[in-house]
Structure 1
Amino acid sequence: MVEANYWQYYLSFEEDVDRLFRYIEPAEYNFTVYSVELTRLYLAICSEIDVILKAYCKLLDEGSKPSNINEYAEMVVSSKKGLCSETVNFQRFGVSMTPFSEWKQSSTPTWWKKHNGVKHNRNVNFKDANLGNVLNAFAALYLLNLYYYQERRCIELQEQGFSESLEETAASLKSRLDVLRIDSVWLSFMER
């Protein structure tokens, strides 16, 4: 069986987002900008979020069969409470986001709700495929990759009596462009 390499998918989106920054400055006053390209990115990134969330839930509980964002939240939020408070920085631009701050078992993040609107009724919700929602989704995908790979590595190391911190996981996942950092990891690197 071929391993799904979620980080490789993230890196492909990182290149797309970095290229996008050549045309749209990632500044709050541009968060309402929308386009066909932003729609394509938004739908693709959120699709990958769905894929990695399913895999993450399986990692947390092999017998689980979650099928929607509320069921993912039930598993992920309850076991990884820190995820909802993680802030991600687009370092070169001074923009920060906390994409899961609204995520609770009965409440989904606004950017996810807007994604569903775009996915199911694009002609009415086209404007919701905007830069702000794309960047929140992209930041969420970054966080999910960090948490997924940290969890996976901890499971592997557990047999040897070791664990791995989120900072160590972030350092081990190589980014070609280094577009994002999470606050806790960035602060840890700065203190060294």
Structure 2
Amino acid sequence: MPPKSFSKIFWKQYLLLEKDFLETDEFVTIDKNNFKTFSSRYTYLLLNICSEIDSIAEEYCKVLGRKPKNIVAKVCAIVTKTPRIKNERAITKCPYEVIKPAPFQAFDDKVAAEWWRNYNLVKHARAEEPSDSIPNSQLANLKSVLWALAALYILCQNLYKLLGESDLQLEPSRLFES
């Protein structure tokens, strides 16, 4: 995939999702104290961001010549080729509180990270209310969405680098430092 196609297909979508997320800051400040805040807008964002993560992870794996079946296998394939992603952090920039999500740190070859598990519970079992924890609908919260967006940002940045040198300058993120 040429970098120009990447920009049109994946980076443009990232920027749209980031814009939608930043608009929520008008109502819920992007701050650690608000991590458990949930809303219908966060549900919308979590579902869309994670769907995009699955798409870009699929494309990333194609570039690597791999065809894993699920997100855990995709992340494992990506981390095997690009080990730094496992601990890579997407650092929020001013004017937002400095938050440093490392969204792939908790993935291993058998288990997905909490934010991805939350996405699956919201996607497949949103109406359920487990007796030992909060209702699944409340898992679409600020923290899950921020970690998912950080994961998408990290995948985009690393796939763009993997595609090779380009004179094309990507529009910068308004949320994360480059």
Q: 1:1-192 alignment to 2 at 5 Å?
A: 3=5, 5-61=9-65, 64-92=66-94, 93=96, 94-124=98-128, 125-153=136-164, 172-175=169-172, 178-181=174-177, 185=178
Name the amino acid aligned to 1:144.
L
Separation in 1 of the partners of 2:153 and 2:108? 19
Separation in 2 of the partners of 1:173 and 1:59? 20
Separation in 2 of the partners of 1:73 and 1:38? 23
Judge conservation of contact 1:38–1:134 (CA < 8 Å) in 2.
yes
| Higher mean C-alpha deviation, range 133-142 or range 97-106 | 97-106
Give TM-score, length-normalised by structure 2.
0.86
Separation in 1 of the partners of 2:67 and 2:83? 21
Gaps of 5+ in 1: 158-163, 186-192
Separation in 1 of the partners of 2:77 and 2:27? 38
Name the amino acid aligned to 1:178.
R
Judge conservation of contact 2:79–2:86 (CA < 8 Å) in 1.
yes
Separation in 1 of the partners of 2:18 and 2:76? 28
Shift of 1:67: 2.0
Shift of 1:102: 0.7
Shift of 1:138: 0.4
Larger proportion of strand: 1
Name the amino acid aligned to 2:156.
N
Shift of 1:65: 2.2
Separation in 1 of the partners of 2:99 and 2:148? 14
Shift of 1:174: 1.3
Shift of 1:3: 4.1
Name the amino acid aligned to 1:68.
N
Separation in 1 of the partners of 2:87 and 2:10? 22
Larger proportion of helix: 1
Judge conservation of contact 2:115–2:147 (CA < 8 Å) in 1.
yes
Give TM-score, length-normalised by structure 1.
0.80
Q: CA RMSD in A?
A: 2.2
Tell me: higher relative CO, structure 1 or 2? Use CA pairs within 8 A at least 6 residues apart. Answer: 2
Number of equivalences: 165
Judge conservation of contact 1:77–1:105 (CA < 8 Å) in 2.
no
Name the amino acid aligned to 2:91.
N
| 3-state secondary structure, aligned to 2:26 | coil
